[in-house]
Amino acid sequence: MPRFTKCSTFAAHFIDVKLDIEMNITKEQINELNAVVKVAVTKDDYQDKVETILKDYRKKADIPGFRKGQVPMGLIKKQYGKAVLVEEVNKLIQDNLNKYLTEEKLDVLGNPLPKQRDNFNWDAEDFEFEFELGLAPSFEVDLKSKKAITQYKIVADDKMINEQVERIQKQYGTLTNKTEVTKKDEVVGVFKNEEEEIENKATLEISTLKSKKATDALVGAKVGDVITISTKGLFGEDQELAAALGIQADKAEKLAVDVSFTIEEINEREPAKLDQELFDKLFGKDVVTSEDGLKTKIKEDSEQQFTQQADQKLLNDITENFIDTTKFELPADFLKKWIQVTGEKVLTDDEATTEYEKSEKGLRYQLIEGKIITENNLQVQFDELKEFSKGFIKTQMAQFGQLNPAEEELDNIAARVLSNQDEVKRLSEQLMSQKLLTLYKEKANLKTKEVTYENFVKEVYG
């Protein structure tokens, strides 16, 4: 899908071009959103450059029947003259048009489109070319909407914290081998169904099964027993069934068959003690020193993660609000033409219209966002970007247990990351989104709503 830019990519790329030749360029304003630029090229504009290139060709030409450097100029012009003329005229047009767009401060969308002319005569001495321009619209952005936008504050309630404590105790607990299944046990076994091509080793926690019939069949069973279980209603979520059977989620969604489960191992998991050894293993030495401290740490870490989700929701909602409430017209016909000819292949009219309709919403927000950034002087400085990247690096290193990396190490890794232009672009966009979010929190019409994570998911995702 094409990405539009408010400032012409032509103009943005050639801002610093210095030209000795001043060509005749005029603009005809069709309406507020469309214009035609005419570029007149005379023989004086290109002749010296073309002659110089052809002379250089003559010096290097190696043509049978002539000594090197002695090929008649007439033959050189016959073989190469037209191609050199076309290339040099196109260079002149591009350079001068870019300069014109920059000096006239024209905000164009996409790039200038050359108007097609039948029977164009390259044998003439003077030429005139016409380019269609799609102009960016004028509009105002009101950061403070009439209707307040909800800013969620997600809190970790006691239920969530206690469940997380239980998960930690279970994860770091010890296993005791048993001979007979009870409702507290974990059972390792192999699921099979030849017709459905299912054969997968999995671990079942008996207490998490949703099927009473399956639970009753497993309780009391021993190692080596083969239990027949129905997949229907076995778990609460399709992805749990998919993981247990080793199948795709879409297949698990509709699967209702009997499978055999051959028991290989029965274990009871004894929860880990909430002691200093566990706290140090989880968070580092003496960071947490009590069960209350553990719950406080879980609450802080959870709510920090929730903040990222709430911020993304707020950014999405504000974006949608801007698109809905900021009204302006676009040069739609021009943009469809531009889409039609700028991709890997030329599109049909219908294909270009479809692509435009898919792109229009994104284009509108690009224009709105660009105006907000300009009017509020939001910029990404290199030092800021470097610190921002170091923050990401520290987070990633912490996931692998490196909690206190040396500053020199961070600087070296950041330098390598920022040498990659794709990474620079990605990080710059993320940092700018952060700056925009900070601006919106200061100036937008927001109302804060405190919710648990469970209720946030229900409200946002249904």
What is the C-alpha to C-alpha distance for residues 260 and 193, in angstroms, rounded to an integer? 7
For residue 328, CA distances in Å to 134, 140, 144, 381 come to: 14, 9, 18, 31
Provide the β-strand partners of residue 185.
268
Domain limit, last residue, from 223, 245, 270: 270
Within a domain: 361: no
Angle between helices 291-325 and 453-461 (to 10 degrees): 20
The number of distinct structural domains making up the chain is: 3
- Domain co-membership, 422 together with 399: yes
- Domain co-membership, 323 together with 432: yes
Within a domain: 121: yes
What is the C-alpha to C-alpha distance for residues 304 and 454, in angstroms, rounded to an integer? 16
Tell which residue, 93, 84, 109, has the closest CA to residue 38.
93
- Domain co-membership, 412 together with 319: yes
pTM over 0.75: no
Within a domain: 210: yes
pLDDT digits (tens, 9 = 90+) for 365-382: 999 999 999 999 999 999
How close are the terminal C-alpha atoms of the chain, in Å? Answer: 30
Within a domain: 189: yes
- Domain co-membership, 301 together with 448: yes
Give residue 186's domain range. 174-270
Q: pLDDT value at position 7? A: 38
Within a domain: 128: yes
- Domain co-membership, 241 together with 312: no
Looking from the CA of 78 toward its CB, the CA atoms found within 13 Å total 5
What CATH code is carried by the domain that includes residue 180?
Answer: 3.10.50.30
Within a domain: 342: no
Within a domain: 422: yes
- Domain co-membership, 200 together with 254: yes
pLDDT digits (tens, 9 = 90+) for 306-321: 999 999 999 999 999 9
- Domain co-membership, 264 together with 291: no
What is the C-alpha to C-alpha distance for residues 180 and 194, in angstroms, rounded to an integer? 27
- Domain co-membership, 429 together with 287: yes
- Domain co-membership, 239 together with 384: no
Q: pLDDT value at position 22? A: 63
Provide the β-strand partners of residue 313.
none
Domain limit, last residue, from 114, 135, 156: 135
What CATH code is carried by the domain that includes residue 121?
Answer: 3.30.70.1050
Within a 10 A sphere around the Cβ of 446, how many other Cβ atoms? 18
- Domain co-membership, 308 together with 444: yes
Q: pLDDT value at position 3? A: 44
What residues have CB less than 8 Å from 100, skipping those under 6 apart?
25, 37
Mean pLDDT by 10 residues, the chain (462 residues): 39 34 84 94 92 90 82 89 92 91 91 85 90 94 92 95 93 92 95 94 94 95 95 92 93 92 95 94 91 94 91 95 94 94 89 94 94 94 92 82 82 90 92 95 95 92 79
- Domain co-membership, 265 together with 289: no
- Domain co-membership, 447 together with 388: yes
Within a domain: 150: no
Domain limit, last residue, from 270, 300, 320: 270
